[in-house]
């Protein structure tokens, strides 16, 4: 990506962050040769009525630990610093203002979440704030999105599989929706919280340092869950 850098942006509640999130970031980075991927925990999720089960500080701490597992990952507390709902369009605008003209932004999202894009704040203008990188999730292949979202079909690239080839995006290219067909772990934060509550193992679901933090802080245990539900 000649001329300037390329930054992926992966947002979420991250309650907790898990290997499904990290593999989605890794897939997007490999296919689009991104320089870095920001992990952006949300403070107030517009699509979830219930609050997060853990504090903002705990979720950010887990994101920081997860970012330590790969050099291209970086935590970003931008949304946690605002009292407003964590709207993607606002976050992208703020990121552009922080580094005007110095990096291309690629917003990374799972196919399950992108299927609901028409319900997002500031739709369809939100799609003009960055390139969108949509990665298949278990049960949600990207190949179905053009039919599900016909109004956006002309923005979508043909699905590409994970391989040695890298997509090259011209710095002046109009924002597009890149579809990546890849296998990512069938992991959910809800399942992890339930496993912790019944004292089951988190092995293979979260990075070991995140698992250690959850255990040390006694997050998601049934007693805490009852208090925070």
Distances, alpha carbon 11 to alpha carbons 15, 95, 115, 127, 178, in Å: 12, 13, 16, 15, 17
pLDDT of residue 205: 97
DSSP 123: T
Concatenating the DSSP letter of every residue in 133-189 gives: EEE-BTTB-GGGHHHH-GGGGGGBPPPEESSS------TTPPP-EEEEE-------H
The whole-number pLDDT of residue 3 equals 45
C-alpha to C-alpha distance for 103 and 107, rounded to whole angstroms: 13
176-187 residues labelled b (16+ CB within 10 A) or e (exposed): bbbbbbbebbeb
Burial 137-149 (b: 16+ CB within 10 A, else e): beebebeebbeeb
- Residue numbers of the chain with a pLDDT score lower than 50: 1-3, 224-229
Q: Which of 158, 206, 228 has its CA nearest to residue 16?
A: 206
Secondary structure class of 106 (helix, strand, coil): strand
pTM, 2 dp = 0.92
Question: The domain at 5-187 falls in which architecture?
Answer: 3-Layer(aba) Sandwich (3.40)
Give the count of beta carbons closer than 10 Å to the beta carbon of residue 124. 12
Cis before 73? omega within 30: no
**pLDDT digit string, tens, across residues 12-22:** 999 999 999 99
The domain ranges of the chain are: 5-187
- What pLDDT does 53 receive? 93
Q: What is the pLDDT of residue 100?
A: 74
Specify the pLDDT at position 1: 33
């Amino acid at each position: 990506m000649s001329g300037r850098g390329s930054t992926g942006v992966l947002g979420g509640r991250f309650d907790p962050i898990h290997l499904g999130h990290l593999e989605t970031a890794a897939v997007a980075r490999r296919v689009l040769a991104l320089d870095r991927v920001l992990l952006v925990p949300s403070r107030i999720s517009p699509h979830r009525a219930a609050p997060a089960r853990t504090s903002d500080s705990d979720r950010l701490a887990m994101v920081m630990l997860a970012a330590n597992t790969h050099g291209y990952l970086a935590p970003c507390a931008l949304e946690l610093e605002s009292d407003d709902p964590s709207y993607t369009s606002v976050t992208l605008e703020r990121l552009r203002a922080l580094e005007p003209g110095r990096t291309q932004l690629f917003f990374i999202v799972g196919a399950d979440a992108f299927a609901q894009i028409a319900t997002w704040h500031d739709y369809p203008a939100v799609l003009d704030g960055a390139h969108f990188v949509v990665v298949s999730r278990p049960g949600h292949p990207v190949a179905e999105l053009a039919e599900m979202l016909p109004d956006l079909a002309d923005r979508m690239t043909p699905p590409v599989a994970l391989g040695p080839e890298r997509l090259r995006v011209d710095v002046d290219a109009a924002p597009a929706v890149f579809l990546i067909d890849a296998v990512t772990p069938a992991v959910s934060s809800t399942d992890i919280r339930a496993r912790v509550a019944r004292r089951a193992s988190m092995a293979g679901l979260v990075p070991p340092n995140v698992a250690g933090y959850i255990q040390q802080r006694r997050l998601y245990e049934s007693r805490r869950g009852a208090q925070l539900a």
